[in-house]
Structure 1
Amino acid sequence: MSDEPNNLAADTNGNIDEKIKLEEDELAPVPGDPIVPKEEEDQNQDIDIDKEAKGLKVEALRVLCDTKKRDEIAALALSEHGLVNDEIRKRAWPILLGYDSSVIKTELEDAKVKLEDDKIILQDYLGRVPYTDLPSHRDEEQVALDVNRSFVYYPSGLTSEEMDAQKQELQDLIVEVLRRHPILCYFQGFHDICQVILLVLGPKLAPLAVEYMSLLRVRDFMLPALGPALWHLKLLHPILFAADEKLCRHLSTTQPFFALAATLTLYAHDIQAYGDIARLFDAFLAESPIFPIYFFATIVMSRQEELFDIPDTEPEMLHSILCKLPKPLDLEGLISKAIDLQSSHPPHTLGVWSKVPSSSVLKTYRSPVRSSGSVVKKNVKRDLLRGEALFKKQASQLSREQFKTQVITNLHTHKSMIGWTVLAGVSAIALGYYLGKRGLDTKSVWQALAVNF
């Protein structure tokens, strides 16, 4: 008799219930079929639930994009999985930036033309002449060099001809924006930002998005000097001090330049997966321009254990570690924690906030308001003009600060000579006053001094 347990139900006479036997036979593994571990079954169920949740989110986002509800779109962009896919991003990113791309797209498809001096001129969505008719920008050579080094990590699988075409589109995109706004100064890494926008929106819709980014979100990085960009970095230590004083003190021997490359390019230079950088842009466009700094602070705080293992007497080592983003990045977790960090320690509570220039994008950014129809074009022109006006204000302020710094530097450099000159001048005034009070002829005294000396 077999010792194997028999789980089949039997009646009092020992007869097996055939119905139960058939049910158990159906559940039994068939020889040759793969055996799926329980953990994998659970994982597959999670994937199905995740897929269903994403599908529902996409449907909700489509409705919100139809009704141009910017705040609701922003809230979903900050939640898990962001805007989910590029189909939604193509509609949502312009709304997050502050305009309605559907109006722009319609005008582009209509191929609007203008007759001028018997010549037909193709105009863009704002009635402007083609950028190719505008003067070259001073930075176009550097743009060409950087574009040639673009698309390193994504998209993959392109032929050499397709890659060349992609690079040409990126070159055209950056040059168009610079020629339309010649006051802008190109910076190395700007092409990384433009690359992401181009891949999501395509060559027709990307130019206006990059104009908005340049003038209203990364304007501090496109000025003639680095000073305005450094204000973003100067907020990093105060944020860390407010959230984790011990960690901040441990890093006090380092300057925040380790965050420059990441924040300057909105992390597009450092993140190598297209899906990840597109997801991160969802959050950045939904938030204000200060959010990338809170995001970096969150990354630093997530590396506490690693950083505390390095003595604070080795700032070079700490700098080297912080320059590189950890891999892999838990994007969803970091975005969520950065939102909480910004909520717990908002910019105005930081001691250094009052010193940030009033014309910086950190302070001038306004969350876009909902607009549609014919109002959109008017608002687009207004927004771009406002961005240019703020740029000029910043450039003027920057010029004054540079002049002031130069004067102070010259004073320190030539302080001994200046000291003797000032002393001689004051002495001459004092002597003249003394002689005058006593009724002496100051002119004859000065002549005598001139003869003898």
Structure 2
Amino acid sequence: MTAGTGPERTKRRRNVPGGGGAGGQSLSWRKQKAVRIHEALTCDPVDVETLREAAASEGGLLTQEIRRRVWPKLLNISVYSLPPKPGPALRVNHHYYNQVLIDVRRSLKRFPRGMAELERSVLQDQLLDMILYVLRSHPELHYYQGYHDVAVTLLLTAGLRLGTAMLQTLSTHHLRDFMDPTMERTRSVLSYLMPLIQSESPVLHDFMLRSEVGCIFALSWLITWYGHVLSDFHQVLRLYDFFLASHPLTPVYCAAQMVLMRESEVLQVDCDMPSVHQFLSMIPTDFPYETLISRTHTLFQKYPPSELERQTSLRLLKSISAASFRSLQISSAQQRPDFVLRQQATPSLDVLPVRPQNTLVKLAVWGISASLGAAAFVVTQTALEWGPDLLLGLF
């Protein structure tokens, strides 16, 4: 059966405006995708596989409002069981406080241009407390420079409490290899890069070997999920959609594919370490990210980690992130939809069920979520729970 036809397509047309009947106009792919996401979120249990497919496929999760609902489900987080709001008390006598403070102060470029200095200052304080909360809660985790780039993306997208919950789960799963006391596991993850390039292009691989460029150019890509090196926040969000829905080693496959897509240009560079390193470190602003994501997915399917290790005789440290991914997949598949969780939850100041009015469906959640966190999240969440008819008004 061809995609987009048959009973499933007919059913969807009956449930959304303009989807069928005489003279009805077919919905745009964005609206169709938004409805699929809504249906997956309201299934009981939540259809996490459909959410993963939506996050990885063209366009990703479409809007900030939708991300606030889907990202927690990808990480098995309930918005009604969030950690307490982190506060300044966490800063007292913490051995990473000074290092985190320095990095947070240097994070100015990660905030939207034109943001008022006072608002940015408040967000930077929240970022500091958010990071220290996770580190205090998990003494086995060690801070690394660049961790704050991941944290600020979550903060700007989901607010303080929800962002902290997601950072905590990411730190014990996807980012775990980078949070050892030494960089041995990080180097182990980087070791996948050259074999992947060799598998697809021996010519490019040999050129890079002769240049002695190594893999260090991709280090900041992996440990910040590209947040540190991309200036366009929408590009960062698109990659986060993909990585949150994928295997923890996907960012290194993405790095390999990014190099492969620039092969012809790389081969024109002088074959020496400074020249090749400088070229690879500068990611073009117009890089085709949808193509990158699609090809990265294909590359992962073609050379999964176990197969790549077998073919190349890689002897690597065991990836804690990869080992924990399966358990996260299984647990996330048992989640209840948010409207069920809300009925079971005891109301609190942070998660009051609020009814949207008029233009609240199109909240400018950028600034609001940063200040109000879960409260703003629930406003949007409730709007989405009203059903596909209201959801379509977002587009």
TM range (shorter): 0.7 to 0.9
Letter in 1 for 2:89: T
Query: Does residue 1:58 correspond to 2:19, yes or no?
Result: no
Q: How does 1:305-344 map to 2 (within 5 A)?
A: 305-312=264-271, 314-344=272-302
CA, structure 1 residues 83+178, in 2 after alignment: closer, same or farther (shift >3 Å)? same
Separation of aligned partners in 2, 1:179 and 1:136:
11
Counterparts of 1:50 and 1:345, CA distance in 2: 38
1:196 aligned to 131, 139, 153, which one?
153
Structure of higher RCO (CA pairs closer than 8 Å, 6+ residues apart): 2
Q: Does 1:302 align with 2:257?
A: no
Task: Provide the residue aligned with 2:53 in structure 1.
Answer: 75
* Matched ranges for 1:20-419 at <5 A: 52-67=28-43, 68-97=46-75, 99-104=76-81, 124=84, 132=89, 136-252=93-209, 253-312=212-271, 314-350=272-308, 351-352=311-312, 355-366=315-326, 367-369=328-330, 370-372=333-335
| Residues 87 and 129 in structure 2, CA contact (< 8 A), matched pair in contact too | no
Distance in structure 1 (CA, Å) of the matches to 2:232 and 2:173: 26
Question: CA 1:50/1:205 → structure 2, altered by over 3 Å: closer, same or farther?
Answer: farther
For 1:238 and 1:89, the matched residues in 2 are separated by: 34
Q: Distance in 1 between matches of 2:231 and 2:175?
A: 21
Cα distance, 1:249–1:156 mapped onto 2, change above 3 Å: same
* 1:88 partner letter: I
Distance 1:75 1:307, change over 3 A: same
8 Å CA contact retained: 2:77, 2:166? no
Normalization by structure 2: what TM-score?
0.72
Structure 1 match to 2:15: none
Kept after mapping to 2: 8 A contact 1:235/1:352? no
Q: Is the 8 A contact 2:90 2:132 kept in 1?
A: no
The offset of 1:183, in angstroms, is 2.3
Any conservation in 2 of the 1:193–1:265 contact (CA below 8 Å)? Answer: yes
AA in 1 matched with 2:41:
C
2:376 corresponds to which residue? none
Contact 1:136 1:179 in 2 (8 A): no
Q: TM-score, normalised by structure 1?
A: 0.63
* Runs of 4+ residues over 6 Å off in structure 1: none
Decide whether the 8 Å contact of 1:151 with 1:195 is kept in 2.
no
Secondary structure at 1:152's aligned position in 2? helix
Query: Mind listing any 5+ residue stretches in structure 2 that lack a counterpart?
Result: 1-24, 342-395
1:353 and 1:286 map into 2 onto residues whose CA distance is 28
RMSD: 2.6
List gaps (5 residues or longer) in structure 1.
1-48, 106-122, 377-453
Q: Report Cα offsets for 1:17-70 as digits up to 9, x if no partner.
A: xxxxxxxxxxxxxxxxxxxxxxxxxxxxxxxx9993212211221221222211
* Partner in structure 1 of residue 358 of structure 2: none
Conserved in 1, the CA contact under 8 Å of 2:220 and 2:228? yes
- Counting aligned pairs with the same residue, the percent is 28
Q: Is the 2:247–2:325 contact (alpha carbons within 8 Å) kept by the matching residues of 1?
A: yes
